[in-house]
A and B are shown apart, each in its own frame.
Chain A
Amino acid sequence: MSDVLEALINVGVLASAIRIATPLLLAALGEMVTERAGILNLGIEGTITVSAFGSFVVADKADSLWLGVLSGVGAGILLSLLMAVLVSSIKVEQVVAGLALNLFGIGMAFYLFRAFYPQTGGEMPRSDTFDYAEIPLLSDIPAVGEVVFSQHWLTYAAILSCPVLWWTLNRTQFGLELRSVGNNPAACDMRGINVTGMQYLALAFGGLMAGLAGAFLSVFLSGLFFVDVAAGRGWIALAIVIFGNWRIGRILAGALFFGYLDAYQLSLQARGVEVPHQLLLALPFVLTIAALVVNRRRSHEPLHLGVPYFRGER
């Protein structure tokens, strides 16, 4: 019992909670922006997988972690632009296009992985990984230093991107236009805002963020690629956006909370404590459904989410 309580505030658990939250936060922020422009992208899981592979293979073959991150992000953007062509230009049903993207992306990543690394039966190929970026002085603070200031640089970047993103969305003309596209594309079109262009941009940004999330999984955390590398994180990101009611502060809180639950159950398992850890893992999904019901009257869901916009049709 004391183990169960001690793990709640264990420094190692808190630090790994932030680590686990990083890819969730990145992908969720990207998805939130995409949804704000009216596009529901269910293809994040596939995008993360493709990016994780892109990062892994380049980091390994070109022997450069930075090139790895870059190509992972590139792959994420590319896949999202494919989504943009499908849903914004051709106006295919968004749900279906997202699912197609998942199937195609995960299949493609795994096919290429096998093409580059034929199955040998030996140990899995492994790339280098980034070292933790300990911040001088701050990382020497007891407990807090280890939890907050001894993370990867991408974790700091993800957290710092929250205020930047908030400011861009809520305090700039561009952000206003982007949000308007998700709420009332017809009015935007009349005002001369390029609806399709905005949606391309939003999707590309979503791809960039999912790409970073993928890169984080392969060249920051493990140095490995496998077909289930995303392990549902794309879907959890989707859940976090809803859980956070499309608002950045709550999305950050949601990502940290979901990361914490995961870190907590992992540490309980590692200690051999007999708890139904699956039920802890199910909590985020249950809470997301609850949030949908509870928030329905003050939902920030974009009004035109998931509905293709045709000029001249209502």
Chain B
Amino acid sequence: MNTDVPTTPGASSGSLLRRTGWRLERRLEVKPWHEVVTLVGAFIVGLAICSILIAASDKSVVDSYRALFDGAFGSRRAVYETLVQATPLIFTGLAAAFAFRARVWNIGGEGQFFAGAMGAFFVSDLWHAHLPRGVMVPVLFIAAAAAGALWASIAGLLKARYDTNEIITTVMLNFIILLILSYLLGDLWRSPDTFYFQTVTLPESAHLPLMIDGSRLHWGFGIAVAVAVVVHVVLRRTALGYEVRGVGINRTAGSYKGISVPRVTVLVMAISGALAGLAGAAEFSGIHHRLQLDISNNFGFVGIIIALIGRLHPAGVVVSAIAFGALVNGAVTMQIQTGIPAALVDVIQGLSLIFVLTGAVAVRYRLQRTRSDE
């Protein structure tokens, strides 16, 4: 029939398109500016759809977005608060990005966050009276990283040893750790002077120092950015980073190159868990100073989204975490000023992600005039 229309392998060409004389062709090379355009485009489309939602509820779109922006960046104070919100997301975003680089699907950031917070609380509770702050804080961060790594390693080891699907095991482990925490909060760790499921509030020796006095911005943000730099260097400049990227690109070829895929899998899972665990430490010792069940605002799951929007690059993770922090922070102001439910932010985030994902695929193709039309 259409013998004059050549089909290149991988070119998906809808017949509807073809009838109008165009076809989709795979790009040979995706340039960085293509990706930037996609990201910005996705965000704008997400915002545009949400504008419809706002307009439908008879509120002014301009006022709403202005309130959102003011809440996020309108004052020095607002900026600090935005960075506070971004801090755990940088850690969990890095955790997801690192694992996904090796195509290890760690969906357990949420659980590893709690494992980290629990590790941090455990050592703080044990030693805060004996150690000075300058020692206690590093120790609790190390404990958190270890706890996160340990919890994630369960999934890593099961994958390496039995080839179990890590998506499923990490999701299950999320629930298990939350239930363990819930048990501990109701029993061993419960603060004696409260009815709620929470631990005692720890004294200052276990508090992360503030970056800016008089705000809530603690050094967790500084540490997060530093860790992002370290992750970048590890990925780019070390043998481990080479192996991680190698396994991510092609498992089989990686193993021919002498990379032990099971070993890398376990290692990647552990490091990813450690990064998510650090988020738990930062939130525990920077903000809450005690454990309770609601210290995570979905940080583990949002981290996955941030990693993808940041194109699995540490710098991208930092930028998109700050953007998400701004949204979350600004939404509070928006809700107060305009009465628009803060849940709108989840919609914006979800939609942006959907369009980013779509865009990331779309950018690999371009429209081309078909030959039959020439």
B-contacting residues of A (Cβ < 8 Å)?
Answer: 40, 42, 82, 86, 90-93, 95-97, 99-108, 110-111, 114-115, 118, 227, 232, 235, 238-239, 242, 276, 278-279, 281-282, 285-286, 288-289, 292-293, 296, 301, 306, 310-313
**CB < 8 Å neighbour of A104 from B107, B179, B346:** B346
Distance of B202 from chain A, by nearest CB (Å): 23
**CB < 8 Å neighbour of A278 from B162, B165, B180, B304:** B180
Please name all residues of chain B whose beta carbon is closer than 8 Å to the beta carbon of A242 when the two chains form the complex.
168
Which of B70-78, B213-221, B225-233, B336-344 contacts its partner? B336-344
- How far apart sit A301 and B167, CA to CA, in the bound complex (Å)? 14
Beyond A99-B107, A100-B353: 13 further Cβ-contacts under 8 Å? A90-B358, A92-B358, A101-B354, A103-B346, A104-B346, A107-B346, A110-B341, A111-B344, A238-B171, A285-B172, A292-B168, A301-B165, A310-B10
**CB < 8 Å neighbour of A282 from B162, B179, B347:** B179
Given contacts A238-B171, A289-B164, whether A108 and B347 have CB atoms under 8 Å apart is yes
Instruction: Check B343 against A107 for contact (C-beta < 8 Å).
Output: yes
Please name all residues of chain A whose beta carbon is closer than 8 Å to the beta carbon of B351 when the two chains form the complex.
104
Given contacts A100-B350, A104-B346, A104-B354, whether A282 and B175 have CB atoms under 8 Å apart is yes
Q: Which residue of A lies closest to B59 (CB)?
A: A115
Q: 1/0 per residue B153-197: CB within 8 Å of A?
A: 000001000111101110111011001101100110000000000
**CB < 8 Å neighbour of B350 from A107, A115, A293:** A107
Q: Which residue of B lies closest to A110 (CB)?
A: B343
Which 5 residue pairs across A and B have the least CB separation, nearest first? A107-B346, A104-B350, A114-B341, A278-B183, A103-B350
Distance of B5 from chain A, by nearest CB (Å): 15
Distance of A211 from chain B, by nearest CB (Å): 19
Tell me if B278 is interfacial: C-beta within 8 Å of chain A.
no
A-B contact pairs, 7 of them (CB 8 A): A42-B171, A93-B357, A103-B350, A114-B343, A285-B175, A288-B168, A289-B158
Q: Which residue of B lies closest to A310 (CB)?
A: B10
Instruction: Check B346 against A106 for contact (C-beta < 8 Å).
Output: yes
Distance of B185 from chain A, by nearest CB (Å): 9
Instruction: Check A289 against B172 for contact (C-beta < 8 Å).
Output: yes
Instruction: Check B164 against A111 for contact (C-beta < 8 Å).
Output: no
Please name all residues of chain A whose beta carbon is closer than 8 Å to the beta carbon of B304 when the two chains form the complex.
96, 99
- How far apart sit A114 and B347, CA to CA, in the bound complex (Å)? 13
Instruction: Check B57 against A97 for contact (C-beta < 8 Å).
Output: no
Tell me if B239 is interfacial: C-beta within 8 Å of chain A.
no
**CB < 8 Å neighbour of A115 from B105, B176, B308, B341:** B341
Instruction: Check A99 against B343 for contact (C-beta < 8 Å).
Output: no
Instruction: Check A103 against B349 for contact (C-beta < 8 Å).
Output: yes
- How far apart sit A96 and B158, CA to CA, in the bound complex (Å)? 22
Q: Which residue of A lies closest to B11 (CB)?
A: A312
Please name all residues of chain A whose beta carbon is closer than 8 Å to the beta carbon of B158 when the two chains form the complex.
289, 292-293
Instruction: Check A282 against B180 for contact (C-beta < 8 Å).
Output: yes
Please name all residues of chain B whose beta carbon is closer than 8 Å to the beta carbon of A101 when the two chains form the complex.
350, 354
Instruction: Check A103 against B353 for contact (C-beta < 8 Å).
Output: yes
Instruction: Check B172 against A239 for contact (C-beta < 8 Å).
Output: yes
Q: Which residue of A lies closest to B335 (CB)?
A: A114
Instruction: Check A276 against B187 for contact (C-beta < 8 Å).
Output: yes
